[in-house]
Structure 1
Amino acid sequence: MIQNFWANAAYSLIPTILLGLIFWLVMRSIFRADRTERKVYAEIEAEERARFDAENAAAPRSATREP
């Protein structure tokens, strides 16, 4: 009788624990992917801003239109 109780308790808890573990792994991978994507985007944006500033600094002032 008591052995059956512990088996039922284990069978009741194992699916919940496994589902929670799967959910945690999925959420962790989503957050890591988002963090990596934001980091890469920031690096690309910094490179583009530096390139834009270098192009504007190298352009002669007479070539730009003045109002």
Structure 2
Amino acid sequence: MDFGKILVVIGIVLIVIGISWSFIGKLPGDITFKKGNTTVYFPIVTSIVISIILSLIFFVIGRFR
């Protein structure tokens, strides 16, 4: 894989991360428990979304090989 393709892939990954950054951690379905000074956070839906995005990125990278 040449250097140009690597830069394009890195650029696409950074764009996807930048666009999705405002949604991460604020999705409905993420579970938060607060009691006193303790907060427990379970990012279930956020984990699913990140998994789908990474799967699509790796699929696209695999198609160019």
TM-score relative to the length of structure 2: 0.37
- Structure (1 or 2) with the greater strand fraction: 2
Structure number with bigger Rg: 1
Higher relative CO (CA 8 A, sep ≥ 6), structure 1 or 2?
Answer: 2
- Structure (1 or 2) with the greater helix fraction: 1
